[in-house]
Structure 1
């Protein structure tokens, strides 16, 4: 039995999610009982439609549910219509200050506008944006950031603090509610994990709208992943959060992969291969580190949820392998044991191991996707016979 199945019957693994109302970002539901969606943001010039489309498609392949693009100028909103038509995921248009860009983005097909109503000027401008959003079926994402809090709040509180972020969010929300607009989600981000978590906790108690999670300016791939896992993971574990972005100084596809790993580790989403592997030691029967690196790279195309254990020896290997769909444990003389559905099945030699595991995972994914057909059984049997 896989750990995904076990989680369903072990109450201490269950997370009681905060009850939020649901909005739509294009075809993706956010909030309510919808799965927590994973977002990222392009770093190409939006005015370069071709480059932006290519990057969005790579993010789609990585599993992105929603992608945000910057629209700082007319050239960007002009390219947005082509971008929206050429991609499958809903597109959020990121707007700062220039309310006309929001109007243009809504008309161009953006599924959501990332805009802070209090930053675009007069009440009439807010009303224009709301009218455009309603007319085009756009939702709105309010994005409060500790690094750009309003001057009056900084004067009131002396420094960025959870109360200041929450008050800023509530002020922006009121501007939308005054125009009878309720299709919004909110983020209160900070680069400081403690500040961000406390702000989200305060906001979660104050509103019923969906919350977009993130630790902003988190850093590079390793450092940013750690900070994001701590902050976002803490909130998700407490049941807070309806959509997320892992903000890394890395390619957008990496943000998506890390986002899914956070969700997978908490049993909140299942996508692709979940790898259980040991840190390796002198007992290892094969090079665990290089094997896992190669498998993660070669199995990125697998979208079907399944689990794979890669353990270097027989100390913990059999126990871990019993909990995964496919497992391998290191043995002596370059001969290693393969487990299928937690049961010892056959051996494989070191020279053939990597290709063999990839074939087993691909066959298992096909089996799960299409049901256990005779052809699927033949594929798995053929792979196993070749290994022996």
Structure 2
């Protein structure tokens, strides 16, 4: 395990600004809804102009570097992770896992709230020691030699938590891919993962003979899920089958990268069509710039190659998650969390919260609500 400091060279920043200034803009398909065919060009132009002239990457570096950063090699891959030791006499380790198109930047506003609740009016003895790794192929983590899935990452995270950091037990939390990694930690590594908190649910129940048919609420969710998948998962298809083709444009053009990622934040977050109501430019660009400077947009998509293989989403036949599970269902997430009874088909659900607001990127959108819910869940499992 080696200490690590985030620092992008001045030359890399100058190159980015030159590329932004020289952007070759496409024609735009006319539509009444400017976002109907993808990222609105007027907004992407505005975002890129801000990125070129006003955005302060050095401020983002300072935000990340105020936490302890490390790298360690796990299964031949260099893994980057942040650590913030919690307040109190015996802070419980809490592992946070992000997804796509997010990064550890999602957690910059929630880590301190989780580690040091006394600074925010809470009980200092309820602080967590927060560990936030970058997924393999994301950010400052290295890329695996071939695409891996969330079950593989859960095995790697066990190594990180137990063998590298020496934690005999910990709580895991995640959304997006991080939700599925968290599910696999609970399913396969329940001897050390004592609780699994989710703000998204992806795992599907295994087919079991005699299992009851879906009820009306579950059927309604299934239909809404199909509708969302029909209109919002074209990115999944290309990232899961031809990611290399996509990568040429997104690796070479910062404007292309900004459009690809910003559109997802607008649609998946609780924005009601106004992206900056949830993601002001500085917050959004911190995440986009991390992808740009690390050159990881291609390797970040490789996990989607596990979708056609079909072994990422469901437990083994007869396998059930007995580790205590908590779910925070945020209403603005385009990929809605299923009803509780659906999750209970495969997991030991001990905590459930229907949130009043918030979307897919819960740690960025509603850090207070999410931090409080994780703490409420922890009280049940400790």
TM category (shorter chain) comes to under 0.3
Query: Which is greater in Rg?
Result: 1
Structure with the bigger RCO (C-alpha within 8 Å, sep 6+) is 2
Structure-1-length-normalised TM-score: 0.26
